[in-house]
Amino acid sequence: MTKKQKVQFIIDKLEELYPEVPIPLRHKDPYTLLIAVILSAQSQDARVNTVTPLLFKKADNPYDMLKLSVEEIRAIIKPVGLSPMKSKGIYGLSKILIEKHNGKVPDTFKDLEALPSVGHKTASVVMSQAFGIAAFPVDTHIHRLMYRWNLSSGKNVVQTEKDAKRLFAKQLWNKLHLQIIFYGREHSPARGWNKEKDVIYQKVGRKNL
């Protein structure tokens, strides 16, 4: 198969398996999505979804978030891990949103990445899922699968993102990155991977793994 044929096979198979892809993190607007994505760092989405209702009941906007102390935020989000850093980030970015952006989440990479605790991946998720702007957030699943599928070197997530954007059409990015995540979780996990049952790997993957 040529690389172009491999890419088309992946697109077709993912569309067949996941014609609809719900956003894994529960949210109602750009702000609650931004907070949920920050909480998801080195944590599972399912765990984040048990914590966010408790947090958003007290504060689902930056104005209410500033009524809580960093310690109060930390106590609520503790189950997701890294709570000291995340609670400071959530408080700090809420303050900046009010001071610089009229309480609204900005819709540019530059402004998002200037916020505390917001890196490129978090900004990409918000741009894609909150604002519908084409982005290709690379998480551990996408990084792993792009390597297994022999579409990227696996060197780092920056290179993986560049390769994904080069290989897949821009209009597919927002849906496709979620489809790859779902596939990675169900069929091509990091641990307990059954490569014989991984249909995409069997068709396009690196045979030396």
- The full set of domains in the chain, from first to last, is 3-21+136-204 (1.10.1670.10), 30-129 (1.10.340.30)
Mean predicted confidence (pLDDT) in 64-79: 98
The catalytic residues are: 121, 139
Global confidence as pTM: 0.93
**Mean pLDDT, residues 120-147:** 97
For 12, other C-beta atoms within 10 Å of its C-beta total 10
- In 10 A of CB 199, how many CB atoms? 14
pLDDT at 196: 96
Q: Report the C-alpha gap between 9 and 124 in whole angstroms.
A: 25
- Show contacts of 50-57: CB within 8 Å, 24+ apart: 50/79, 51/76, 51/77, 51/79, 51/80, 52/25, 52/26, 52/27, 53/26, 56/28, 56/32
What average pLDDT does the chain have?
Answer: 97
